[in-house]
Amino acid sequence: MTEHRLLQRTLFRMYADAGFAGALLAREPRALASTGLGPGDLELLMDLDPRALRADPGGRRRSQLLGNCASEFSLGLAAFQSHAELASPLNTFLESAHFHGAMIHAGRLPLAFGNHALEQAVSAKLCGPQVMLRLELEMAHLRRGSHSPTIPSPHPLLGNWPVDLPLPSSVPEIPEDPEPLGLGCVRLAATARLIALPLGALNWASELQAALDRSSLELPSAPPWEPASEQELVLLKALPAASAFQLSSVESERLSSPTRELLERARRPLSKIARDDFAEAHGAAPQELESFVQELVADRILDHGC
């Protein structure tokens, strides 16, 4: 990243987080080190009028930023509403290490917000928000073409900036493309993901969404599951985006056996021989399974090595 880009991002961090701005203007070493800027650019920042950093009539700039970051996490935020005693992730994100880590490394702010909100729900042991945020974070990654498991947060939740220096060189939000498939092998496509959710979670998500669509102030009661509830495997599938400037929409689908078992095995390349063995174990003809596999390939759920 060029010095100019680093300077822009540092300015944005200062506008968004008054605590970071104060630490930087006070020349606190960790704040200075987190910018990656040289002495000349840092001196330019030292000349800023703190009043200019606080200028945001009506809080419009902050509201717009947070609205953009949180737009893909409406269910998780709705689930938070029944815990009014806790600070909303919207009120803590811009001061969090997740926000600063994304800004330092040109990360995606919506994904950083999702990680921050999920970490806050986990810390408070909130079952409903945790599940909804896990689901929405998986969908957010899938919209951006990710095909890895859920990405762990790259920074500890300590606020304002990561304390461990040197900082990591990148945030692994979107992994590199996988190696090409071998001839005849199939594998779960980059446009599909599998996620295990408590039984009933999708129904509760639908109830939450219906209440939001009605602009209802009465949200569904507590989620109908316990932390140790039975799990079900759900398939998430990204649909083709309407244009290059839009994110994909994502559909969810419950899986029943043996489709669930087939897709689980296809997380890793699954050869034709392995598929024939799978068909025999389930009392099906290999040709029948191959026809079904081709349907999954056409539906962008599986990739096929040619």
pLDDT one digit per residue (tens) for the chain, 306 residues: 457 888 999 999 999 998 999 999 999 999 999 898 999 899 989 988 888 888 787 788 889 999 999 999 999 999 998 887 888 999 999 999 999 999 988 889 999 999 999 999 999 999 999 999 999 999 999 998 743 333 333 333 334 444 443 333 333 455 555 678 999 999 999 999 999 999 999 999 999 999 999 988 788 877 877 767 789 999 999 998 888 778 889 999 999 889 999 999 999 999 999 999 999 999 999 999 999 999 999 999 999 997
Q: Which helix (H) or strand (E) holds 51?
A: helix 50-53
| Residue 199 CA: distances (Å) to CA of 82, 202, 225 | 21, 8, 7
CB neighbour burial string for 99-120, b if at least 16 within 10 angstroms, e if fewer: bbbbbbbebbbbbbbbbbbbbb
Cα distance between residue 121 and residue 101, in whole Å: 19
Residue 117 corresponds to which amino acid? A
Cα distance between residue 273 and residue 254, in whole Å: 27
Cα distance between residue 235 and residue 188, in whole Å: 11
148: exposed, middle or buried (Cβ count in 10 Å: 0-12, 13-18, 19+): middle
Which residue, among 137, 158, 149, has the nearest Cα to 190 in the 3D structure?
Answer: 149
Rounded to 10°, the helix 109-123/97-104 angle is 160
Q: Token pair of 182, please?
A: 């071998």
